[in-house]
Amino acid sequence: MQAENTKAILVPKEKIEDIRMHLLKKNILDTNRKIKIATNKDLAEIPVLGEVEGYEHIFQEKPEYYFQFKNLRERLQEIADPEQKKYIPSGWQVLGDVVVITIPEKISSLKPVIGEELLKMYPSCHCVVNDKGIDGDLRQPKREIIAGNGTETTHRENGCVFRMDVTKVMYSKGNLYEKRHMSNIGTGEIIVDMFAGIGYFTIPIAVHAKPEKMYAIELNPESHSYLLENIKLNNVEGIVEPVLGNCLEKAPEGVADRVLMGYVGNTHEYLKKAISILKKEGGIIHYHESVPEKLFPERPVSRITKAALEKGKKVEILGFRRIKKYSPGVWHVVIDAKIG
């Protein structure tokens, strides 16, 4: 059985470029593999990352890659000493045409060469930044350029476009499944996103689900600025109303069918406000939290229940999901709760 990551679709040769551009916009094109002419000379194999409706799918027996090595450790084989090799990262993010990597302090001397090797591995990228964590109440990233230049980029994901500066705002590809899941709900509803950022959840929902109206509230002026730009880029001005400020003060009350709480930190402190945002008859809250594995799902569920009781409301837990590892032994999770 062929590996899932060698999947391709068969397309007529004369339509290669049109279909390639369509797949690229949908973030489904596998840009690590080359397009090949199929055994049937009238067809081409376009490498893809998942299912594409309307096309015959195959698993390539001999895929051709743009890069000889995908393993950074192999590329640094003759440069790093045995101790340093233990700390060379095995993963990173590519956001538009910028690579974001976290380099341990123990190999900080290798930052320049790591940056240059990543630019060779991703020739369409023009900059590599080292991620050093998050700083301050606004959760701004601490990042430094280690190769190339230009940290503003346009990232395409799930049929949406996100403009951002990776040194000024956070963006995680780790919760792509959750963003895709959320983009299928809320049709015709009024939705309030309490922590909108640059539109992580707001944009996919507005683009795909077509709610009646969305209030997108964001405290960070930098993120809010990119939110405004992303609303225009995705043509959802008629759906999304951006609001700059603290959601405790700026969020409208008694209006929403659904409330998004896509922030991990002291999110539980905003639960009573979230319940107040819902319509009088109630609605659904999507509550995010970072929680030790041994306390999941009990702690987030109890926090929602406590806040609802204090507001004189009942709770029905509709579901809960682990999104990704937040830190060792701690998960970023989401709870779907119906309040009424």
Burial profile 38-49: b = 16 or more Cβ within 10 angstroms, e = fewer:
beeeebbbbbbb
> Is the peptide bond preceding residue 211 cis, with omega within 30 degrees of 0?
no
Q: What is the pairing mode between strands 7-12 and 56-59?
A: antiparallel
Residues 118 and 262 placed together within one structural domain of the fold: no
In a domain, 164, yes or no: no
Residue the block writes with tokens 């509230």: 217
Q: Are residues 190 and 333 in the same domain?
A: yes
> What integer pLDDT is reported at residue 137 of this predicted model?
67
Pairing of strands 283-292, 56-59: unpaired
Regarding whether 267 and 229 lie in a shared domain, the answer is yes
Rounded CA gap, 56 and 171, in Å?
34
Is position 65 within any domain?
A: no
Pair (195, 80) in one structural domain = no
* pLDDT of 1: 33
CATH number of the domain encompassing residue 17: 3.30.70
The answer as to whether 77 is a domain residue is: yes
pLDDT at position 316: 98
Structural domain including 43 reads 4-59
**Do 234 and 192 fall within a single domain?**
yes
Question: Could you tell me if 268 and 183 lie in one domain?
Answer: yes
* Residue 80 pLDDT: 92
Whether 272 and 255 have beta carbons less than 8 Å apart is answered as no
Question: 291 and 225, same structural domain?
Answer: yes
Do 104 and 223 have their domain in common?
no
**Same domain, yes or no: 207 and 298:** yes
269 exposed, middle or buried (CB, 10 Å; 0-12, 13-18, 19+)? exposed
- Tell me, letter by letter, the H, E, C secondary structure of 11-48: EEHHHHHHHHHHHHHCCCECCCECCEECCCCCEEEEEE
Residue 309 lies in a domain: yes
Q: Could you please report the per-residue DSSP string of 180-202? A: HHHTTS-TT-EEEETT-TTTTTH
Q: How many angstroms separate the Cα of 47 from the Cα of each of 60, 98, 120?
A: 8, 22, 21
161 found inside a domain: no
All residue ranges of the chain with pLDDT < 70 are 1-5, 67-70, 137-138
Residue 64 belongs to some domain of the structure: no
Q: Mark which of 150, 183, 205 sits at the end of a domain.
A: 150
> Residue 266, SS3?
coil
Q: Name, in order, each residue with C-beta under 8 angstroms of 266's C-beta and a sequence gap of 6 or more.
A: none
Q: Do 284 and 178 share a structural domain?
A: yes
| Among 121, 150, 179, residue at a domain's last position | 150
Domains in the chain: how many in total?
Answer: 3
Nearest to 333 by CA among 215, 174, 213: 174
Q: What pLDDT does residue 103 have?
A: 96
Q: What does the alpha-carbon distance between residue 164 and residue 9 come to, in Å, rounded to a whole number?
A: 31
Output the domain CATH number for residue 79. 3.30.300.110
Distance of CA 280 to the CA centre of its chain: 32
Query: E strands, 226-271, where?
Result: 240-244, 258-261
E strands, the chain, are 7-12, 36-37, 43-47, 56-59, 93-95, 98-101, 127-135, 140-148, 152-157, 160-165, 190-193, 213-218, 240-244, 258-261, 283-292, 315-327, 330-339
Dihedral (CA of 79, 80, 85, 89) sign = negative
Task: Give residue 71's pLDDT.
Answer: 79
Residue 31 belongs to a domain? yes
Q: What is the CATH number of the domain that holds 309?
A: 3.40.50.150
